[in-house]
């Protein structure tokens, strides 16, 4: 019967451990948990665990042993412990085991009490008479060495005083009952008297039990315990994990108890800790030689097998693929070359062990859903992974990035000659909270994420053209996407990646395309769409190229009042660039008809003229990486259609051409495509025959200019007139005469423009005309600059 109970107790313990091991760890959030079974062993430590299990299973009826498994945080001590326990369960003549974690039990007294309590429970698990005797003997011994018996005995000794107080209280209650409700007072008195009697009995019991635990000599109690432990048919292995997480005083107390009880027969302590932490905790009680003190406690130490860095990286990449592989696409900024750079320069140097790798995997798994939906990802997947690396390993630096937008993005462009040194100093201040040994890798990471800062420190100016690929790639260094990484939502007026992907899907049919454009226009997202079309031109489908190009012309026409010259790219220019990219992906023979029909349908003079200009300018006049997609005949056909449209618009009686926000640009294109200045000049002459017509032309010839000077934090907006434009299309003398003849007060909505023109002409001609206080004459610009 006793043997059956032992077998059943051990079987129950093994079944419980087996069920726990069967639970698969979460590869995402919570992946920092140690492995539980050899089936999860990816570091090939199962054989090492098996050999250790053999050593720990050796029965020793004379004394116990103390072993140590040493290793740093996150290097797999708890995982190895679980593998050893699994092997102990598999061995027929193996050892029983107990997993004790002192970190869970708070103060030092609780740790010691719980240690002896759990060992006693484990030894008494089969509920046989011998097992109960061992458990009771261990509890009696533990009570003595941990000092529990003294408070119990003291409490029992005070029972006489407590009884006296309660008895006196009952007498006082009876004596004070005069004039009171006697039944109630009698009840109180009887209750107090009863408590006094009970307290005496309880006190005697406490004294008895206190004597039972502390009255006998310690040697006698220990001798009885040793006799019982020698009869164990297998040793008990007590794993004591997470010792290095305790406070120094708790470490010292725990190890004192282990040292005092290390020679109990068939009890094997296995201590798991990081060596330097435990040694420092023991220094105060070991004459600053904690290592020597520890050597007196531990009979043999096992160091964790070295984990090859290649293995950590391999496991990290495998688990990362499971978590984030869905978003590793070209549309989300993934490329093998860029990923290799990010991995080698910014991520791998921080992965010292599996705990580091799984901490990062856990953070990626937690934040990935905040940016992704289905297969659409709102940010650049590679920048996201690098930024998560900073979040995990450099949280102070990560928390500072959003506040340093101006430094990181360099939005102000060119400034003073001292700016590179100032930016470098600001970068050093940003890195101040990073420990010295990690500061170099942190600097590399910041410059990888933010090329504008790297350029600025190196004295290189970040141009608008160089920013375009960053924006197209949804990188954190782009002005548009920076906030999205931190605020986790798309800014007002911007277009999410999910919405843009839906638009791309809608372009497959003309009906879907028209419906999508209608919705986006109603939501005020056409400007954002124009920029996205430019940035993602290589992603645009060409199955419905004719409809898509026509829509792009139409978008540019709707947005034509958003002029170039701002710090952001003009929608007209963006559309022209996007159309050129799409043309490059359709057969060359069909390109001419596509653009001519798109112009005829949309009547977008500006985007057509820009497309003509891009396809005829020499590369060095625009940008070296531009590849024109229209041949000479296609350009000439587009010019011919353009002239037809502009002449028709000029002939309309409602002054449609005057309303064009790009009037000067269109007039010069008219001159260039017709080969003569006569047509546009004659048209202007007819328009300015009346004062009202002259004022409308003046307003349209006033150009908006944005400027930025060294030291300014904001761009300044002003307006100006170009001398050559006035001279080419009106004539300086004619314009001067008309300015003098017209009373500005009759045209209050155009008065400012007229006064500005008069002051500018005074500056150009040197005529002594009083200048208005609120206007500043500015010099002219050659017509070549307008082309």
DSSP string, 181-230: -HHHHHHHHHHHHHHHHHHHHHHHHHHHHHIIIIIS-HHHHHHHHHHHHH
Q: Report the pLDDT value the prediction gives residue 198, as an integer from 0 to 100.
A: 53
pLDDT of residue 22: 52
Against a cut of 0.75, is the pTM above it?
no
Q: How far apart are CA 619 and CA 627, in angstroms?
A: 8
Return the bridge partners of 704, or none. 719
Most confident region among 179-188, 224-233, 323-332, 338-347 by mean pLDDT: 338-347
Measured CA to CA, the distance from residue 181 to residue 617 in angstroms comes to 114
Residue 787 has pLDDT above 60, yes or no: no
Question: Tens of pLDDT along 188-221?
Answer: 445 544 545 554 544 554 444 444 444 567 778 8
Residues 273, 260: Cα–Cα separation, whole Å: 19
Residue with tokens 């314009």: 735
Cβ neighbours for 783, distance < 8 A, ≥ 6 positions apart: 668, 722, 724, 725, 728
- Render pLDDT for 474-496 as a digit per residue (tens, 0 to 9): 999 998 899 999 987 777 788 88
Q: How confident is the model at residue 18 (pLDDT cuts 50, 70, 90)?
A: low
Instruction: Using the predicted structure, report yes or no on whether residue 1 has a pLDDT greater than 50.
Output: no
How large is the average pLDDT for residues 510-525? Answer: 91
pLDDT-derived band of residue 755, with 50, 70 and 90 as boundaries? confident
Mean pLDDT of the 265-290 span: 92
In 3D, which of 149, 159, 164, 140 has the Cα closest to residue 204?
159
Residue 703, H or E segment: strand 703-707
Q: Which residue has the higher pLDDT, 783 or 604?
A: 604
SS3 237: strand
Residues above pLDDT 90, as percent of the chain: 35
Does 142 have pLDDT greater than 80? no
The yes-or-no verdict on residue 26 having pLDDT over 60 is no
Mean local confidence (pLDDT), 724-743: 90
Query: What is the rounded CA–CA span in Å between residue 528 and residue 305?
Result: 56
Mean per-residue pLDDT over the chain, rounded: 80
Give the helix/strand (H/E) hosting 634: helix 632-651
| Separation of CA 136 from chain center | 55
pLDDT at res. 357: 92
**415 confidence band (pLDDT: 50, 70, 90):** low
Q: How far apart are the first and last CA of the chain?
A: 105
User: What is the mean pLDDT of the segment spanning 645-657?
Assistant: 84
């Amino acid at each position: 019967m006793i043997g059956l109970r032992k077998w059943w107790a051990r079987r129950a313990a093994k079944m419980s451990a087996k069920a726990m091991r069967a639970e698969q760890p979460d590869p995402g959030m919570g992946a920092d948990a140690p492995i539980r079974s050899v089936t999860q062993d990816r570091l090939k430590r199962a054989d090492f665990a098996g050999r250790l299990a053999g050593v720990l299973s050796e029965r020793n009826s004379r004394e116990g042993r103390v072993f140590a498994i040493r290793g740093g945080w996150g290097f797999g001590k708890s995982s190895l412990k679980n593998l050893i326990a699994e092997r102990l369960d598999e061995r027929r003549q193996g050892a029983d085991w107990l997993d004790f974690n002192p970190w869970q039990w708070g103060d030092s007294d609780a740790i010691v009490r719980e240690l002896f309590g759990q060992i006693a429970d484990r030894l008494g698990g089969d509920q046989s008479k011998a097992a109960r005797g061992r458990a009771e003997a261990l509890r009696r011994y533990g009570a003595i060495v941990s000092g529990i018996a003294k408070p119990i005995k003291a409490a029992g000794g005070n029972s006489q005083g407590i009884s006296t107080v309660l008895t006196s209280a009952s007498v006082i209650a009876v004596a004070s009952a005069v004039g009171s409700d006697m039944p109630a007072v009698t009840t109180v008195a009887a209750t107090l008297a009863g408590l006094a009697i009970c307290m005496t009995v309880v006190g005697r019991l406490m004294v008895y039990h206190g004597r039972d635990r502390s009255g006998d000599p310690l040697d006698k109690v220990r001798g009885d315990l040793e006799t019982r432990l020698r009869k164990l048919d297998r040793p008990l292995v007590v794993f004591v994990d997470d010792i290095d997480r305790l406070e120094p005083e708790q470490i010292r107390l725990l190890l004192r108890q282990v040292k005092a009880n290390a020679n109990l027969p068939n009890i094997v302590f296995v201590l798991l800790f990081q060596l330097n932490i435990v040694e420092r905790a023991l220094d105060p009680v070991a004459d600053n030689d904690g290592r020597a003190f520890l050597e007196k406690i531990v009979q043999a130490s096992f160091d964790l097998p070295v984990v090859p860095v290649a293995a950590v990286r391999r496991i990290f990449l495998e688990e990362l693929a499971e978590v984030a592989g869905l978003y590793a696409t070209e549309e989300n900024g993934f490329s093998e070359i860029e990923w290799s750079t990010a991995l080698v320069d910014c991520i791998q140097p921080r992965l010292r062990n599996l705990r580091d790798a799984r901490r990062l995997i856990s953070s990626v798994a937690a934040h990935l859903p905040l940016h992704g939906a289905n297969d659409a990802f709102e940010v650049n997947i590679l920048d996201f992974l690098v930024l998560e690396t900073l979040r995990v390993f450099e949280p102070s630096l990560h928390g500072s990035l959003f506040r340093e937008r101006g430094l990181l993005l360099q939005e102000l462009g060119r400034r003073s000659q001292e700016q590179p040194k100032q930016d470098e100093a600001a970068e050093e201040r940003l890195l101040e909270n990073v420990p010295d040994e990690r500061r170099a890798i942190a600097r590399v990471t910041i410059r990888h994420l933010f090329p504008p800062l790297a350029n600025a420190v190196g004295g290189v100016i970040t141009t608008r053209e160089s920013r375009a690929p960053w924006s197209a790639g949804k990188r954190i260094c782009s002005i548009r996407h920076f906030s999205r990484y931190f605020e986790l939502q798309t800014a007002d007026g911007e277009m999410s990646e999910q919405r843009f992907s839906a638009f791309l899907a809608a372009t497959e049919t003309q009906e879907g395309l028209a419906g999508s454009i209608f919705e986006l226009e109603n939501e005020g997202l056409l400007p954002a769409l124009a920029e996205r079309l430019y940035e993602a031109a290589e992603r645009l489908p060409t199955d419905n190229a004719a409809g898509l190009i026509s829509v792009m012309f139409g978008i540019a026409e709707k947005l034509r009042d958003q002029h170039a010259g701002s710090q952001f790219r003009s929608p007209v220019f963006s559309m022209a660039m996007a159309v050129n990219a799409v043309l490059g992906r359709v057969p060359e023979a069909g390109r001419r008809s596509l653009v001519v029909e798109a112009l005829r349908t949309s009547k977008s003079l500006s985007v057509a003229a820009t497309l003509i200009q891009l396809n005829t300018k020499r590369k060095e006049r625009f940008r070296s990486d531009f590849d024109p997609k229209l041949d000479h005949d296609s350009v000439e056909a587009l010019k011919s259609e353009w002239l037809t449209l502009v002449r028709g618009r000029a002939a309309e009686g409602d002054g449609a051409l005057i309303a064009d926000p790009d009037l000067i640009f269109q007039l010069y294109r008219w001159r260039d495509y017709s080969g003569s200045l006569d047509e546009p000049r004659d048209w202007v002459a007819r328009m300015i025959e009346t004062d009202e017509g002259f004022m409308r032309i003046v307003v349209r010839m006033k150009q908006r200019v944005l400027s930025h000077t060294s030291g300014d934090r904001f761009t300044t907006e002003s307006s100006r007139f170009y001398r050559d434009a006035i001279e080419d299309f009106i004539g300086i003398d004619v314009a001067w005469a008309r300015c003098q003849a017209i009373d500005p007060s009759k045209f209050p909505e155009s008065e400012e423009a007229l006064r500005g023109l008069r002051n500018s002409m005074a500056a150009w001609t040197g005529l002594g005309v009083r200048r208005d206080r609120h206007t500043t004459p500015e010099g002219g610009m050659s017509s070549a600059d307008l082309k």
